[in-house]
Amino acid sequence: MTPKEVLEFAKKNECKQLDMRFTDLPGIQQHVSYPISELGEDSFEAGFGIDGSSIRGWAAINESDMLLIPDPATAMMDPFFEYPTLVMSGTVIDPITRQHYERDPRWIAIKAENYLQSTGLADTAYFGAEAEFFIFDNISFDQTQNSGFYFIDADEGRWNSGRRDNNLGYRPRYKEGYFPVPPTDHYMDLRAEMVEVMQKCGLHIECHHHEVATGGQCEIDQRFNTLVKSADNMMTYKYVVRNVANQFGKTVTFMPKPLFMDNGSGMHTHQSLWKGGKPLFAGDNYAGLSQMALWYIGGLLKHARALSAIIAPTTNSYKRLVPGYEAPVNLAYSRRNRSAACRIPMYSSNPKAKRVEFRPPDPSANPYLAFAAMLLAGLDGVLNKIDPGESLDKDIYDLSPEEMKSVPSMPASLEEALGCLEDDHAFLLKGDVFTEELIETFIAYKRKNEADAVRLRPHPYEFSLYYDI
């Protein structure tokens, strides 16, 4: 929509409120609201003033005045508020220089698309991310100087099979939640409601199902879209999932690994390059790929350890990325093989369906940063003709220790991942998509507020291991 069309859309829907949204550095969506009378055609250039000093990873208090510029293409009606509310996402600019704010994740994603076009290699990057999540009935947690705990419960959790009261059975076994019908799958109707609301918000949903883990692990798949639009859609997706669950008295988490000894939640990300409406990843090489696609894979694999700090950006991410379990920590590529970091789906021979699926990302990632970083890694592979090596067409988890020595792997912790990003980030600076200052800020924030914060605190299991030592 154009600005004028947005105003007509608001009038048609009798909007009372405008809700402006943006995303902080760690990837949490923020919002500020206005009476709809505050929105005019000039608002799309003048913007709305916000205070950025309390936004995580953003400006110091002496540089906190910012402008939020609405993007008319993101306009939609909020499906949850009592009063009819128009929602738009925005980008952030400096009110004095009128320059874009370099720590605004959405602006970084926009710059990634601009850089792609400037290379002449392609004009469009498509991303399709499959975000998994857990639906719980209750969550409690706390951390003090002398205590620390969490407690999760879900009626569907297999651990409730021995409960004496209000127990009808039918719960997915550990690692066997893929794809039982109801009543073992408790959440068919809840997911269907989520899908209905997502479609009202303009998302194109392809399917939904129960995932592998017990205790309410689910997946709803969106259709692929351009990089920025896919990131916008992922923020809407999370917003809808959380709020629909809340309406049903449930709670949702996108933590990668909330349950011990069961599958974690990933965000497998399908990606491809196009030019002039034609797919560039289809060809006559391995698995029906083009040489460009193989070089793109080479870039993803070469920079995967640095990417990990952005695509798996939490300490909890590395409870999922553990060798020998469900996550693809081994940096190899293969057709069909889900134990490889890069998988080439073989569902269709249509050239338009040819794509690369990168499996290490998880849904704790900021999608604007994650999609931009993956694109830059892939483009570095194409520009420098990085050979991905030989494919690995067998179950990587069954390889002998001798064979495994030749297969590199993802970092084992957030701290290790941040070190990899420090050592390897020149590819992210291409086209000024990421800046040195942004990367330094990101690493410092993650190291102080997450990696060090967790490292400094005693873990409950340490008392089981060491209290009587």
The catalytically annotated residue of 104, 113, 132, 380 is: 132
Helical packing angle, 304-311 and 291-302, nearest 10°: 70
H or E element that contains 272: strand 267-275
Interatomic CA distance for residues 440 and 422, integer angstroms: 8
* 51 is an active site residue: yes
* Rounded Cα gap, residues 307 and 301, in angstroms: 9
Dihedral of CA atoms 409, 419, 231, 431 in degrees, nearest 10, equals: -110
320 carries an active-site annotation: no
d(CA 391, CA 305) in angstroms, rounded, equals 19
Query: What single letter denotes the amino acid at residue 205?
Result: I
- 219 catalytically annotated: yes
Catalytic residue from among 173, 204, 338, 459: 338
Catalytic residue list contains 221: no
Which of 359, 380, 415, 450 is flagged as catalytic? 359
CA pair distance 318, 364, nearest whole angstrom:
12
Q: Which of 24, 104, 113, 130 is catalytic?
A: 130
Residues 210, 268, 270, 303: which is the catalytic one? 268
Q: From the candidates 155, 357, 362, 415, which is the catalytic residue?
A: 357
Q: Is 462 noted as a catalytic residue in this protein?
A: no
What phi, psi does 298 have (nearest 5°)? -60, -40
Confirm whether 359 is a catalytic residue: yes
Of 219, 262, 362, 450, which one is the catalytic site residue?
219
Catalytic position from the list 78, 104, 113, 211: 211
- For residue 289, the cross-strand partners are 282
Strands 251-253 and 267-275: unpaired
Place of tokens 């205070």: 51
Distances, alpha carbon 364 to alpha carbons 132, 133, 260, 264, in Å: 10, 10, 18, 12
Q: What dihedral do alpha carbons 111, 112, 118, 122 form, nearest 10°?
A: -150
CB-based contact 429:108 (threshold 8 Å): no
DSSP assignment of 327-345:
S--B--EEES-TTSSEEE-
Instruction: Please confirm, yes or no, whether 123 is among the known catalytic residues.
Output: no
Q: From CA 141, how far away is CA 28, in angstroms rounded?
A: 20
User: Which residues are known catalytic residues?
Assistant: 51, 130, 132, 211, 219, 268, 338, 357, 359
